[in-house]
């Protein structure tokens, strides 16, 4: 019997966009007190529902502004939905903005512990996995250098290496397989595929349709925050292709 590990029920996400130009916090507070701030409602997600079984690999397709990254952040718990609910089973590892939690003044080595703690890893666990993280990132010669001197590709490689050192039940990927050079892209893709073999459930956003087709067995197509197609990767890819060719 299949085990449901993720259930998204009627999830909607509203943002209030300010139509006023506010130069600083003081100006914002004054306008707020005087009720001079006007907000425009923007629904990034509207009544999104689906569920995944253990081992499912869901591709999330859509053009820019469709709500893909917002949906991943809601599932990861970064954002609380305005309406609806998300139910998950097991540990989630979100690979959203790799290295976004790094302190640029700290070295790569120090950030392994800092970023690892943000992901919920204990110091003992990081001690045990430290050499593995450094080796996979290929940053041994730079690990004691402050991260402010790293390129964006180096930061992403280190972030990917830290985040993927665990074996999660649910893995959330947002464009992360496009980081680094071709050699590292292939290496990171192989690492993700090795997780698939262990039955991890995956949510994957990418603008590379072929990559989504290679990695996923199911898909949803989002447009203006709504699901307009849902089913097998073949069916949804066809619907996405029709949208591309219009």
Alpha helices by DSSP H, listed for the chain, are 25-33, 68-76, 108-118, 123-137, 152-163, 182-196, 209-215, 233-244
The CATH number given to whatever domain includes residue 75 is 3.40.50.300
Q: CA 167 to CA 157: how far, in whole Å?
A: 18
Residues 37-47: tens digit of each pLDDT: 566 788 999 99
State how many domains the chain has: 1
Query: Is residue 204 in some structural domain?
Result: yes
Q: Among candidates 162, 93, 92, 171, which has minimal Cα distance to 125?
A: 162
User: Could you tell me if residue 174 is inside a domain?
Assistant: yes
Within a domain: 196: yes
Q: Does residue 184 sit within a domain?
A: yes
Residue-wise pLDDT tens digits, 56-113: 999 999 988 899 989 999 998 889 999 999 999 988 887 776 666 789 999 999 999 9
Instruction: Return the pLDDT at 207.
Output: 79
Identify whether 30 is part of a domain: no
Boundaries of domain holding 125: 4-12+49-244
What is the rounded CA–CA span in Å between residue 60 and residue 172?
11
Domain membership of residue 41 (yes or no) is: no
Look at residue 59 and tell me if it is in a domain: yes
For residue 33, being part of any structural domain is answered with: no
């Amino acid at each position: 019997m299949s085990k449901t590990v993720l259930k998204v029920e009627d999830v909607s996400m509203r943002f209030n966009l300010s139509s006023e130009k506010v130069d600083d916090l003081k100006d914002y507070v004054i306008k707020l007190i005087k009720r001079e701030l006007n907000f425009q409602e923007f629904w990034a997600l509207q009544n999104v529902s689906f569920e995944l079984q253990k081992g499912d690999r869901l591709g999330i397709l859509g053009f820019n502004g469709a709500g893909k990254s917002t949906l991943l952040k809601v599932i990861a718990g970064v954002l609380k939905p305005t309406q609806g609910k998300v139910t998950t089973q097991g540990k989630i590892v979100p690979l959203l903005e790799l290295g976004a939690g790094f302190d640029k003044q700290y070295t790569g080595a120090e950030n392994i512990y800092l970023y690892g703690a943000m992901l919920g890893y204990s110091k003992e666990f990081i001690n045990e996995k430290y050499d593995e993280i450094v080796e996979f990132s290929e940053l041994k010669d730079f690990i004691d250098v402050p991260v402010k001197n790293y390129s964006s590709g180096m930061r992403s490689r280190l972030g990917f290496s830290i985040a993927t050192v665990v074996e999660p039940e649910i893995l959330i990927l947002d464009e992360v397989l496009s980081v680094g050079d071709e050699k590292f892209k292939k290496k990171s893709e192989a690492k993700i595929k090795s997780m698939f073999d262990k039955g991890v459930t995956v949510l994957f956003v990418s603008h590379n349709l072929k990559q989504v087709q290679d990695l996923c067995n199911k898909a949803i197509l989002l447009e203006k925050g709504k699901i307009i197609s849902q089913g097998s990767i073949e069916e949804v890819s066809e619907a996405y292709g029709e949208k591309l060719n219009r």
